[in-house]
Structure 1
Amino acid sequence: MLSPWGENAECDGLMIDANCMLHPCVHSVLRDADVNETDSSLHQRMYNATCEYIDHVASIVRPQSLLYIAVDGPAPRAKMNTQRHRRYKSAKMHRLSTLASAKLNLPKRSFDTNALTPGTRFMQGLDAFMRDHFSRRTAVKGVDIVLSGSCVAGEGEHKIMAYIRACGNPDVRFCVYGLDADLIFLSLSAQRRAMTLVREKVYFRKSSKNSVAERDMRDVEFDMLDIGKLREAFAADVTRRTGATYDTDKLIRDFVMYAYFLGNDFMHAVPGISTHMDGLDCLMHAYLKTLRTQAIHLVKADGSINSTFLQLFIAELASSENANLEREANARRYRAAPDVKRDPSMTGAQHQHASLLSAFENVQGRQQDTIHAGKAGWKQRYWIQLFGLDPSNGDEWEHSRRQVVVNYLEALKWTHQYYTSNTQNWHWHYRYEHSPCLSDIAEFYTDINSIGLPKTKPWKPLEQLMMVLPPDSRALLPTSYGEAMVGDRIGHMYPEDFTVYAALKKFYGECIPNLPVLVADEVLETTRTLKLSASDKVLNRLEKGDVMVRAGAEVGSAAE
């Protein structure tokens, strides 16, 4: 299934999730940036590094007919919550890094990485640079080059999957480049056998080799994952476990669906089901136990969900909830913090700077665990502390938990639609910062097929920026928007500082920031009254589709 990308590997269409390249290339340029370098020069070098790396991957994979480059555009609201969390935490880390650099007298070129969000001048510049670069030169000849830029709504990997789903020929060999683990599930959901994923080789316990930013591109090795072989291996594993043979397509559809319980960018993992603690095995055990009792699968042939199967599956998971939570709590104590090894190229001050940031990242023990998940009474403590519920108010106690469960079931249905078909509802989101307990989902289960998700329009780029950026990054916004962010009307939704919920967490990146609820209607009502310059209006414009940058018959060589 997993093997080095070799000379004999074949690919018709190479699909690139460009943001997976953009971030490491930006950091690579920043590593050697002069403190006095102009923004224009810095940005051009970042754009060029990204395009050159795309060229390099294309020269390795050698697509025969198509190079498709997808840049993240405005995302659904369900993803914006995650983006908001990451950008607030990124801003806080940036402040800490800047303070540490000043204290250690380390010169550092400032750059707000939150600029890598659709709607900013930086991303507008990247789109223009890519169109120009790939219209004039490319590392592969005779292929169509299609660009879906940051002004086309949708995340890069989902634009890629929409393009693949629209391809009626099942024999087209697609190769998808990307680093996101979700790509495996998305690729499986495409139900195509002639499909591979390609990414840089991962070196376990050798973290310095795992960053593209720290390696010369000529030294990077690539691995490929054959999705067709993965499908076959998965079906064979089910047969080995059960002694029965099932339809592979049906097994894969079900697998993608129940894997949502591990958590993703749109919904949180349920307590007791963790990727760190064999969560996938727990899910598969419950699934196979349920499958033996059912005449049909979790996902029907038409793509809809078998509600009876789902209800029984959740009840089976809930039966081992306490045991899983206790096992997870015991394992958490022994998860090692990342070790900052001395890089020979680092000065003493640089190593001290890295150590300070690493110490901040390790949050274990900073916040006392008062829930004691898995211990007697833990569920009541969970709802009181994480959701602010009052068990003494019986009606409200039950009503509120039921509301959370229904919203979580909405999350399951929305995510299933998002993974298996094109986005329809751009405004739905999971309203809470934590998931309900499995036993409560089982208790308050509602027929998932009774849940409606009406069709809505995508967000405009500047609307998304207002939904995800912290006030530290308001310079990335039009002046009027930045002023509104710290103004009297909506400023209370954009805190300058914040705490994180660190109990049950090991690392800062896992923590959920305690942020005020962002009321989208209030934000949009405020921004609609603000004036935009002509150039700002261009930033806020959505394009309707992809751009054919260059047709295959016109494509020349990289030397042009």
Structure 2
Amino acid sequence: MGIPAAFRWLSSKYPKIISPVIEERPITMDDGTTIPVDASKRNPNGEEFDNLYLDMNGIVHPCSHPEDRPAPKDEEEMMLEVFKYTDRVVNMVRPRKLLMIAVDGVAPRAKMNQQRSRRFRSAQEAKEKELDKQELLKLVKQQNGGILPPEHAGVVSKKAFDTNSITPGTPFMDILASSLRYWCQYKLNTDPAWGKLKVIISDATVPGEGEHKIMSYIRSQRASTEHDPNTSHVIYGLDADLIMLGLATHEPFFRVLREDVFFQDSKARTCRLCGQKGHEARNCRGEAKEKTGEFDEKETDSSPLKPFIWLHVSVLREYLAAELAVPGLPFRFDLERAIDDWVFMCCFVGNDFLPHLPALEIREHGIETLMTIWRDNLPSMGGYVTKDGHINWNRAQCILDGLGKKEDAIFKRRKEQEDRREANAKRRKLQAGGGNDRARHAESGAAPRKDGHHNPAHGLHLHPIAQFPKETPSAITYEMVVNRGGIQDTNIANKSAASVLKDKLRGGTSATEAEGSDTVSSQSPPLKRKASDLEDAARASGVASTTASHAATTAEGPVDTVRLWEDGYADRYYQQKFHADPSDTGFRRNVARAYAEGLAWVLMYYFQGCPSWDWYYPYHYAPFAADFQDLATMDVTFSKGYVSKPFEQLMSVLPAASRHALPDVFHDLMTNEDSTIIDFYPEEFEIDLNGKKMAWQGVALLPFIDMPRLLAAVQQKYPLLSPEDAARNGVGRDVLIFSDNHEGLYDEILTKFYSKRQGASRFKLDPKISDGLSGKVEKLSEYVPHGTLHYPLDSHAMPDLDYDRSVSLVGQVGVMAGLASIIHIGAGIQPTISVAQVALGGAVYLPEQAIFTWGCHLQLHDSLIGVTSSSSIWEHYSHAWASGYSE
């Protein structure tokens, strides 16, 4: 997930980092035949790319539960959707050297806490959704005289795919791995655009998050003496931290590819209950799908494809070069070190491993606040806060001290802004005429309603007449079920609702409604809310309704009892959030030190790889900036620790409701009251809104896993596993696949591993023969040269190939190595990354001795940041470079 709202903030603050992807589409002829995209031709975006990396979970999730069309009916259809989506991405980018497909494997313990929270929430939402479906089914049955046609029951009661299955160790991930291997081999055999590609598949059996496995590969290739510093990289994924990781590589030619998540589809979204188009979930009646054509042909997907966008990391580097420049430095300005510090500061506003500091919200210019403190203190600090992923704690203390001085003002300003927004919202509501129902009904004593209707059915939500489905007057919709509110007696409520609906369809008002209000008209305008807002609200209410909020609530919303804008907030915060004695300053210091350890862990994870697999932050909340003291005395070290096995991670992150994804031998550990770890799987848990408005923004107060206790319980079950299950619990390795179009490499591999002259079991790749790829590979036991390629799934939706022209290997591609914060350069030249690169479609290189020609490139900054003259920026740069270098 990365940093919340980071992409929106970056694209708004630095708009030129974003550009649309030019995409060729298949052409459908008049006779119905389709001409596919020929990706072997030049890229229509005007630039050729070497390497494409796919953070595969960002593809699997939208393919398994799409928002704009019915979900695939089974896992085999999901695989076909994954193939289709991946093919589209590859055709967009058209990599010429390498394609790496990385699926999330077992994550570090620090990440498991977030995964646990998301999966428990997901299970609660699924439970609420299923209850609502069953209630709708019951009401539809009632209105049909107790008879429910089978097709109705099939539509409404169909069990949805459990997205928690997209976790390492599940049968679904096994299917995904074998399907991806088949598909890549098939494309290497059949698609000319893939002919010279080398494909690396790192599936869920290989430990590590997908994006970090990709970064590990890039770092390892940079460590090779044969690495080409002009290599162009494109990484696909939806996580905002891909941007930070791209900066952390210090590769000059790096782009992030992603869907344009702000693109608004003009067509209605698919109903998330029955999977049909044409109505929203709130109006779902659970009806069977109407036939399409005489023989119920498969519906054509006419919804437009969501467009993609580039995020140019090189252009972001230019923006940061201008923003981070500090005049009058007593040492040499080093852009790479400054960017590293910027990435470090972004860690404070939120990431997947630590809660954000209370004073910092990215939407409230939290990063700008830290940048200002950094620029003000950089000259006196004598150097940069970070180096190659390590923190200088003396300098970090300066940044946190600066933030601590601003905290009180930040909290008060936040409260003032919230009060102003609420007042403006109420004023706009009144001006729109939909407003203060309490005032409009004060005289009658009627309960206020959001849509202007008095509700006689004990809280049953009623739509304005313009929104009501006219074609079936007796229809009972989903929203009637989920908004049933305070119904005390179902029969009375149904009677009352029927009366209201009957009168509405006649154009009048019910007797009850007429008694309750003299202002309601049948011509009231419909509520104006987007379908996405309704869906999101339904999801949010689903979570909120199954959990107890940590804070008191009123009709206006949750009450913030910490009151950060009032004196004494720190005592209240630690007392309510940590259940600590307000006078216990030692506890506050321990929390701050644990958080500081977390910052060190996150930074090393971004720049060097995982420093410890079992470290985690042991609190749900962050400390205040003012609580960080004496950081210079800290000695932060990490040990690699224990890498969990897939079933151990599943037992750590899955709720009992998702136990079907685990072998049966583990189920009693999650459900039996006598289980030694039953406390890890609560069915109900609190969500502390923590000053937020929506449940999804709150903090899920789940118990932390006691790993030694969990391992003891889980490992006792290992002897009971079947051979198939035990295999899923193993650790895998990356697979390298390429075709015989790589003649030199292909022949060398077959000679080394499969001829009479075969040598050692491990073979070191020669980058000169492998087109720049370095590393060591071994034989894949199940691979047979020139054998048959079989489609691994039962449906046979894809063909078998009698003669497989690809070769598959396993091994470590590249050498694990640390990453220095430098750009790799050729002899005697320094690469200058500029917006000109985007405009001209190539790199702009300047000799190091021609530094004074930077002025012409700095003028390009003018169009980015609105500077009228480049002279001031040039003075900053020339002074920085002339001032020498500092550690």
Q: Is the TM value for this pair above 0.5?
A: yes
**Is 1:10 aligned to residue 48 of structure 2?**
yes
2:390–2:603: 8 Å Cα contact kept in structure 1?
A: no
Q: 1:197 and 1:207 mapped to 2: Cα distance?
A: 26
Tell me which amino acid in the other structure corresponds to 2:385.
L
**Is 1:186 aligned to residue 245 of structure 2?**
yes
Tell me which amino acid in the other structure corresponds to 1:465.
L
Q: 1:209 and 1:308 mapped to 2: Cα distance?
A: 55
2:558–2:693: 8 Å Cα contact kept in structure 1?
A: no
1:458 deviates by 1.8
**Is 1:255 aligned to residue 303 of structure 2?**
no
Summarize the alignment of residues 128-167 of structure 1 with structure 2, pairs less than 5 Å apart.
128-137=178-187, 140-142=193-195, 143-167=197-221
Tell me which amino acid in the other structure corresponds to 2:741.
A
1:321–1:374: 8 Å Cα contact kept in structure 2?
A: no
Number of the residue aligned with 1:546: 734
Q: 1:71 and 1:263 mapped to 2: Cα distance?
A: 23
SS in 2 for 1:186: helix
1:406 deviates by 1.3
1:148 deviates by 0.4
Q: 1:551 and 1:433 mapped to 2: Cα distance?
A: 49
- Taking only aligned residues, the RMSD between alpha carbons, in angstroms, comes to 3.2
Summarize the alignment of residues 486-505 of structure 1 with structure 2, pairs less than 5 Å apart.
486-487=671-672, 488=674, 489-505=676-692
Number of the residue aligned with 2:659: 474
**Is 1:425 aligned to residue 478 of structure 2?**
no
SS in 1 for 2:394: helix
1:145–1:552: 8 Å Cα contact kept in structure 2?
A: no
After superposition, give the CA deviation of every residue in 1:124-147 in whole Å (9 maximum; x if it has no partner).
111111111111126632211111
1:516 deviates by 2.2
Tell me which amino acid in the other structure corresponds to 2:738.
R
1:30–1:109: 8 Å Cα contact kept in structure 2?
A: no
Cα gap change, 1:216/1:324 in structure 2, threshold over 3 Å: closer, same or farther? farther
After superposition, give the CA deviation of every residue in 1:89-128 in whole Å (9 maximum; x if it has no partner).
1111111111112222334432211001111111111111
SS in 2 for 1:388: coil
Cα gap change, 1:429/1:209 in structure 2, threshold over 3 Å: closer, same or farther? farther
After superposition, give the CA deviation of every residue in 1:389-429 in whole Å (9 maximum; x if it has no partner).
013xx5xx122212211110110010011000121310000
Cα gap change, 1:29/1:118 in structure 2, threshold over 3 Å: closer, same or farther? farther
SS in 2 for 1:224: strand
SS in 2 for 1:90: helix
1:220 deviates by 3.0
Q: After the TM superposition, which of the residue ranges 310-319 and 95-104 deviates more from structure 2?
A: 95-104
Tell me which amino acid in the other structure corresponds to 1:497.
E
The counterpart of 1:203, out of the listed 254, 258, 262, is: 262
Q: 1:11 and 1:230 mapped to 2: Cα distance?
A: 19
Cα gap change, 1:104/1:370 in structure 2, threshold over 3 Å: closer, same or farther? same
Number of the residue aligned with 1:310: 396
**Which fold has the larger relative contact order, with Cα–Cα distance below 8 Å and residues 6 or more apart in sequence?**
1
Give TM-score, length-normalised by structure 1. 0.89
Cα gap change, 1:350/1:455 in structure 2, threshold over 3 Å: closer, same or farther? same
Cα gap change, 1:192/1:267 in structure 2, threshold over 3 Å: closer, same or farther? same
Summarize the alignment of residues 38-437 of structure 1 with structure 2, pairs less than 5 Å apart.
42-105=74-137, 106-137=156-187, 140-142=193-195, 143-168=197-222, 169=227, 170-203=229-262, 219-239=305-325, 246-300=333-387, 302-332=388-418, 334=421, 349=477, 354=535, 356-360=538-542, 366-391=557-582, 394=583, 397-437=584-624
The list of structure 1 runs, each at least 4 consecutive aligned residues, that deviate by more than 3 angstroms after superposition, is 106-109, 204-211, 213-218, 241-245, 329-336, 341-344, 347-367, 443-448, 549-552
1:234 deviates by 0.9
Tell me which amino acid in the other structure corresponds to 2:604.
Q
Which has the larger Rg? 2
After superposition, give the CA deviation of every residue in 1:185-217 in whole Å (9 maximum; x if it has no partner).
010001111111111123367698999x99879
1:15–1:160: 8 Å Cα contact kept in structure 2?
A: yes
1:307 deviates by 1.4
1:444 deviates by 5.3
Counting aligned pairs with the same residue, the percent is: 33
SS in 1 for 2:683: coil
Tell me which amino acid in the other structure corresponds to 1:124.
D
Q: 2:741 and 2:476 mapped to 1: Cα distance?
A: 55
Tell me which amino acid in the other structure corresponds to 2:539.
L
Provide structure 2 residue ranges, at least 5 long, that are not aligned to the other structure.
1-16, 23-43, 138-155, 278-300, 426-449, 451-462, 470-474, 483-534, 744-788, 790-797, 802-887
1:368–1:503: 8 Å Cα contact kept in structure 2?
A: no
Q: 2:268 and 2:253 mapped to 1: Cα distance?
A: 30
SS in 2 for 1:453: coil
After superposition, give the CA deviation of every residue in 1:274-293 in whole Å (9 maximum; x if it has no partner).
11211111111111112132
Q: 2:646 and 2:78 mapped to 1: Cα distance?
A: 21
Tell me which amino acid in the other structure corresponds to 2:209.
E
Structure having the higher helix fraction is 1
Tell me which amino acid in the other structure corresponds to 1:445.
L
**Is 1:523 aligned to residue 710 of structure 2?**
yes
Cα gap change, 1:152/1:533 in structure 2, threshold over 3 Å: closer, same or farther? same
Number of the residue aligned with 2:631: 445
**Is 1:462 aligned to residue 515 of structure 2?**
no
2:656–2:681: 8 Å Cα contact kept in structure 1?
A: yes
The counterpart of 1:24, out of the listed 62, 66, 74, is: 62
After superposition, give the CA deviation of every residue in 1:513-557 in whole Å (9 maximum; x if it has no partner).
1222321110001111112111111111011x310133472799x
Q: 2:268 and 2:594 mapped to 1: Cα distance?
A: 41
1:405–1:445: 8 Å Cα contact kept in structure 2?
A: no
Tell me which amino acid in the other structure corresponds to 1:529.
Q
Q: 1:552 and 1:265 mapped to 2: Cα distance?
A: 42
1:223 deviates by 1.1
Q: 2:101 and 2:318 mapped to 1: Cα distance?
A: 29
Q: After the TM superposition, which of the residue ranges 271-280 and 146-155 deviates more from structure 2?
A: 271-280
1:174–1:196: 8 Å Cα contact kept in structure 2?
A: yes
SS in 2 for 1:236: helix
Cα gap change, 1:343/1:359 in structure 2, threshold over 3 Å: closer, same or farther? farther
1:232 deviates by 1.5
SS in 1 for 2:256: strand
Aligned residues: 541
Tell me which amino acid in the other structure corresponds to 1:295.
G
Q: 2:267 and 2:640 mapped to 1: Cα distance?
A: 45
Give TM-score, length-normalised by structure 2. 0.57
Cα gap change, 1:165/1:349 in structure 2, threshold over 3 Å: closer, same or farther? farther
SS in 2 for 1:506: coil
SS in 1 for 2:194: coil
